[in-house]
Amino acid sequence: MGWCDNSFLSKLKCRVLVVGAGGIGCELLKNLVLAGFSNIDVVDMDTIDVSNLNRQFLFRREHVGKSKAETAAQAVRTLVPNVNITSHHDSILNERYNVDFFQQFTVVLSALDNQAARNHINRLCLAARVPLIDSGTSGYLGQVSVILRDKTECYECWSKSKQKTYPGCTIRNTPTELIHCIVWAKHLFNQLFGELDIDDDVSPDLESEEAKRVDEEVKENGTDGRKEDCEERGHTAANGNLVNGMVSDGLKEPQKECVRVWAAKHHFDPQTLFHKFFHDDIKVLLSMENLWKDRRKPTPLEWNELSNQNAGSSRAKTNDHLWTVLECREQFEKALFDLSARVKDDSVLVWDKDDDASVRFVAACGNLRAHIFDISMKTLFDIKSMAGNIIPAIATTNAVVAGMIVVEAMKVVSGKLHKLRNVFITRRPNPHHKVLVDMTPNKPRSSCYVCSEQREVVVKTNVQLTTVRAFQQKFLKEILNMVAPDAMVFITRRPNPHHKVLVDMTPNKPRSSCYVCSEQREVVVKTNVQLTTVRAFQQKFLKEILNMVAPDAMVPSTGNIIASSEEGEMDAVADRKLIEVGVVNGCLLSCDDFQQKLEIRVQVSHDSGLEADEFEIATDSGTVESANGAVIADDVSKKRKSAMEDVEQSPKRARIVDDK
Tell me: is residue 442 an annotated ligand-binding position. no
Q: How far is CA 607 from CA 104, 537, 614, in A?
A: 45, 15, 10
Tell me: is residue 119 an annotated ligand-binding position. no
Tell me: is residue 116 an annotated ligand-binding position. yes
Q: 3-class secondary structure for 302-340?
A: CHHHHHHCCCCCCCCCCCCCCCCHHHHHHHHHHHHHHHH
Alpha helices per DSSP H over 438-546: 468-470, 534-536
Q: Is 133 helix (H, G, I), strand (E, B) or coil?
A: strand
Q: Which residues, at least 6 apart from 387, have a Cβ–Cβ distance to it below 8 Å? A: 182, 185, 186, 351, 353, 359, 362, 363, 366
Q: How far apart are CA 431 and CA 208, in angstroms?
A: 51
Q: Which of 424, 406, 420, 351 lies closest to 383 in space, CA to CA?
A: 351
Q: How far apart are CA 290 and CA 297, in angstroms?
A: 11
Cβ distance 370 to 181 under 8 Å?
yes
Tell me: is residue 75 an annotated ligand-binding position. no
Q: Which of 151, 142, 118 lies closest to 24 in space, CA to CA?
A: 142
Q: Which residues, at least 6 apart from 603, have a Cβ–Cβ distance to it below 8 Å? A: 158, 522, 523, 524, 525, 586, 587, 588, 589
Tell me: is residue 547 an annotated ligand-binding position. no
Phi, psi of 600 (to 5 degrees): -130, 140
Tell me: is residue 199 an annotated ligand-binding position. no
Torsion from C-alpha of 326, 327, 332, 333, nearest 10 degrees: 80
Tell me: is residue 496 an annotated ligand-binding position. no
Tell me: is residue 53 an annotated ligand-binding position. yes
Tell me: is residue 118 an annotated ligand-binding position. yes
Q: Which residue is catalytic, options 4, 14, 169, 587? A: 169
Torsion from C-alpha of 7, 9, 10, 11, nearest 10 degrees: 90
Q: How far is CA 609 from CA 165, 345, 531, 612, 617, in A?
A: 20, 51, 11, 10, 15
State the first-to-last Cα distance of the chain, in angstroms, to the nearest integer. Answer: 73
Q: Which of 339, 348, 174 lies closest to 273 in space, CA to CA?
A: 339
Tell me: is residue 591 an annotated ligand-binding position. no
Q: What is the DSSP letter of 419?
A: G
Cβ distance 206 to 239 under 8 Å?
yes
Q: Look up 4 and say whether it is catalytic.
A: no
Task: Work out the number of other CB atoms within 10 angstroms of the CB of residue 234.
Answer: 13
Tell me: is residue 451 an annotated ligand-binding position. yes
Tell me: is residue 154 an annotated ligand-binding position. yes
Q: What is the DSSP letter of 631?
A: B
Tell me: is residue 171 an annotated ligand-binding position. no
Tell me: is residue 23 an annotated ligand-binding position. yes
Tell me: is residue 157 an annotated ligand-binding position. yes
Query: 347-351: which pairs have CB atoms within 8 A and are 24 or more residues apart?
Result: 348/193, 348/194, 348/195, 349/189, 349/193, 349/194, 350/194, 351/186, 351/189, 351/190, 351/194, 351/387
Q: How far apart are CA 405 and CA 279, in angstroms?
A: 53
Tell me: is residue 52 an annotated ligand-binding position. yes
Cβ distance 300 to 282 under 8 Å?
yes
Q: How far is CA 445 from CA 87, 360, 398, 511, in A?
A: 35, 45, 28, 12
Q: Which residues are annotated as a binding site for ATP?
A: 20-25, 44, 52-55, 68, 91-92, 113-118
Q: Give the residue numbers annotated as catalytic, written as ranges.
A: 169
Q: Which residues are annotated as a binding site?
A: 20-25, 44, 52-55, 68, 91-92, 113-118, 154, 157, 448, 451
Q: Which residues are annotated as a binding site for Zn(2+)?
A: 154, 157, 448, 451
